[in-house]
Structure 1
Amino acid sequence: MKRSSAIRRAVLAAAAVALVVTGCTDRTGGSGGGSGGGGGGSTPQSPASAPASAGSDGKPSSPAPSSSSAAPSSPSSSSTPSSAKALMKDGDENEQVRELQARLRQLDLFDRAPTGFYGSITGKSVAAFQERRGLPVTSTVDAATWELLLSLTKEPTADELKPSTTNKLDTPDPRCMTGRVLCISKESRTLAWMIDGKVVSSFDVRFGSENTPTREGEFKVEWKAREWTSTIYHTPMPYSMFFSRGQAVHYSADFAARGYAGASHGCVNVRDRAKLAALFDQVKPGDKVVVHW
């Protein structure tokens, strides 16, 4: 009995410690309208552990396809939307998608920085290209679409693939249209501070890596800290607005310095300190946070 009581006390003490751990990761587990824990029980990474070769969405980059090797042979003229194999489609995320977006941007068909993620915005851009060039409009990239795009554009430069320019806001998620909301889009890599459906201010943001993802879903600002240091990674997190078990919106000096070459440990990083300081003063605990694609 004494041994059982000692074990029970030890478990309860460990749980109490876990509840106060903060710093862009989830050490408590559980549910919460997200895509999974940011850190789980994995060994903490060092503050600068995000690989220099990480993609602009914070995930490790695959080797960028060359124009010559990436283009498959043309299908026969009898190919139809139902029979043509999709090389890139909704939900894909890789460096070939980033090249696709950069090439579409050269033709003024993609009006934001490439993200490497094939979502609805990319699908609409592909459909517009296909319609303009007389191809079957499928919103997916088959061999004919890819080869024609390669012939009409030049190989993207490093700056075109990962520009440092401000991102264009995504169409707000329906959940962002009422009340006071931090509306955060993973596809456009933006945060819009919205009140009753109107954008008050906006920011470039970056997210967690594949191993420490930023959770998606609807949350609330739980608490704020003007000055905070991660209790896990021991790195500064100024203007933190916590919304999901240790994950927060906060300023990142690393994001300001390296841009999308790095990633967070699950938090939503902002690189404009002055603008975030103004936002911090406006946001109140209880305000809605929506993280979506």
Structure 2
Amino acid sequence: MHRQRAIIRTLGLAAAVALSATACGPQGSGAAPAAPSAPPAGSSPAASPSAGDDKPGEASPSASPSQSPSSSSSPSPSQSSAPGPKPLMANGDESEQVRELQARLRQLKLVSTAPTAFYGSKTTAAVRTFQSQHGLAATGSVDEATWQKVQGLSRKPTDEELRPPTTNEVDAPDPRCMQGRVMCISKESRTLAWMIDGKVVSTMDVRFGSENTPTREGLFQVEWKAKEWTSTIYHTSMPYSMFFSQGQAVHYSSDFAARGYAGASHGCVNVRDKGKLSALFDQVKVGDKVVVYW
């Protein structure tokens, strides 16, 4: 019993230390993590996403005699039927091939937003429209026939088409953005819209965390602000920080301004237009809503 209590106390202390840091900074910046320090008064601790959890219901199969089929049993039709071919790209995928698909669909005037490399609802709808136009099964997923048709009717995208420097078109606001003062942040269009009572006041391009350090989605509020701030883990500058979910914040990123979507944050919402963010920082108040959605 004494040993169990000691383990619990040790784990509790380790968790408290891990949750106390503001962990944002550009991926691949080369800065080695330092020992975390506590955020200023009024801030919330930063939670680290866990990696390696099994998906619910996906237990490892175990071989037991009672589970082995007898030699006289025959498989049911549902067991013997082979699954159909897996689509090349489908809703929920994220890859450079998806980025190319989106750039080609943009050439064909089926999407207007800049490529994001994430296959979301807009890409699904555009693919379904393309398939309907060309006599293909309108599944919204890209199979081999659809991909060949898209490639045949478009040209190989340029680097600028894959990662355009221009401002992204703002996505339709999430319903939670339609009341009050809200930073409405769309992961699909990679935009931030500052909205007051359903009216868009200003917009700007944003960048998010990588697959291993994702930006949290949901309804939040601005917990605290800092015009000048430095990551306590990565020692990178985070000007105009507006913290909304423990250690995650909206802030200016010189790395985003320089490299664009070739990089990623460690979970924060990066903004590359310093002038726009400076003006927004002056308007946003602690307690204002933040909505992050696909």
* 1:113 is aligned to 2:110: no
* CA-atom RMSD in angstroms: 3.0
CA positional deviation for 1:6: 9.6
Q: Residue 55 of structure 1 aligns with which residue?
A: none
Q: How far does residue 255 in structure 1 lie from its aligned partner after superposition?
A: 0.6
1:21 aligns with 2:52: no
Residue type at the aligned position of 1:200: V
Counterpart Cα distance in 1 of 2:149 and 2:242: 46
- Could you tell me which amino acid in structure 2 is paired with residue 24 of structure 1? C
Match of 1:67 in 2: none
* CA displacement at 1:4 relative to structure 2: 11
Tell me, what secondary structure is at the counterpart of 2:193? Answer: strand
Structure 1 residue 132, shift from structure 2 partner: 2.4
Q: Distance in 1 between matches of 2:105 and 2:288?
A: 37
Q: Is the 8 A contact 1:22 1:247 kept in 2?
A: yes
Deviations 1:138-189 (A, max 9, x none): 2222222211111111111222112222111111111111111111111111
Counterpart residue number, 1:143:
144
**Secondary structure of residue in 1 paired with 2:182:** strand
- Counterpart position of 2:135: 134
Asked if the contact 1:217–1:292 (Cα under 8 Å) also holds between the matched residues in 2, the reply is yes
Higher Cα radius of gyration: 2
TM-score (norm 1): 0.75
Residue equivalent to 1:165: 166
Structure 2 Cα separation of the partners of residues 127 and 222 of structure 1 = 41
Instruction: Name the CA distance, whole Å, in 2 between partners of 1:12 and 1:149.
Output: 54
Per-residue deviation, 1:135: 2.7
Deviation at 1:216, TM superposition (A): 1.0
In the alignment, residue 107 of structure 2 is paired with which amino acid? Q
Letter in 1 for 2:154: T
Please say if residues 18 and 48 of structure 2, whose CA atoms lie closer than 8 Å, have aligned partners that are also in contact: no
Give the Cα separation in 2 of the matches to 1:6 and 1:134.
67
- 1:198 is matched with 199
What TM-score does the superposition give when structure 2 sets the normalisation length?
0.74
Whether the aligned pair in 1 keeps the contact of 2:47 and 2:246 (CA below 8 Å) is: no
Take 1:86 and 1:212, find their aligned partners in 2: how far apart are those partners?
27
Secondary structure, counterpart of 2:220 in structure 1: strand
8 A Cα contact 1:216 1:290, kept in partner:
yes
Q: Which residue of 2 aligns with 1:75?
A: none
| 2:94 paired with 1:93 | yes
Alignment-derived partner of residue 216 in structure 1: 217
- Partners of 1:84 and 1:11 lie apart in 2 by 46
Distance 1:92 1:127 in 2: 16
Shift of residue 136 of structure 1? 3.0
Q: Aligned ranges for residues 208-247 of structure 1 at < 5 Å?
A: 208-247=209-248
SS in structure 2 of the partner of residue 210 of structure 1: coil
Shift of 1:280: 0.4
Q: For residue 264 of structure 2, give the secondary structure of its aligned residue in structure 1.
A: coil
Q: Distance in 1 between matches of 2:139 and 2:121?
A: 12
CA contact (8 A) 1:37 1:213 kept: no
Question: 1:183 corresponds to which residue?
Answer: 184
- The residue identity in structure 2 corresponding to 1:267 is C
Could you report, residue by residue, the CA deviation over 1:228-274 in whole angstroms, capped at 9, with x for unpaired residues? 11111111111000011110000011111111111111110000001
Tell me the alpha carbon deviations over residues 24-65 of structure 1, each in whole angstroms, 9 at most, x when there is no partner: 29x89xxxxxxx955669xxxxxxxxxxxxxxxxxxxxxxxx
- Asked whether the equivalents of residues 21 and 246 of structure 1 are also in contact (C-alpha less than 8 Å), the reply is yes
Matches of 1:126 and 1:88, distance apart in 2:
10
**Unaligned 5+ residue runs, structure 1?**
29-35, 42-81
Aligned residue identity for 1:202: T
- Cα separation, partners in 2 of 1:8 and 1:216, compared to 1, 3 Å: closer
Distance 2:122 2:144 in 1: 20
Distance 1:132 1:234, change over 3 A: same
How far does residue 21 in structure 1 lie from its aligned partner after superposition?
Answer: 2.1
Distance 1:240 1:183 in 2: 16
CA apart distance, 1:131 = 2.5
- State the Cα distance separating 1:17 from its structure 2 match: 5.1
Cα separation, 2, equivalents of 1:124 and 1:236? 39
Query: Do the aligned partners of residues 40 and 130 (structure 1) sit closer, same or farther apart at CA in structure 2, a change above 3 Å counting?
Result: closer
**C-alpha contact 2:185 2:290 (8 A) present in aligned 1:** yes
Task: Determine if contact 2:163/2:260 at 8 Å carries over to the other structure.
Answer: no
Letter in 2 for 1:219: F
Partner of 1:150: helix, strand, or coil? helix
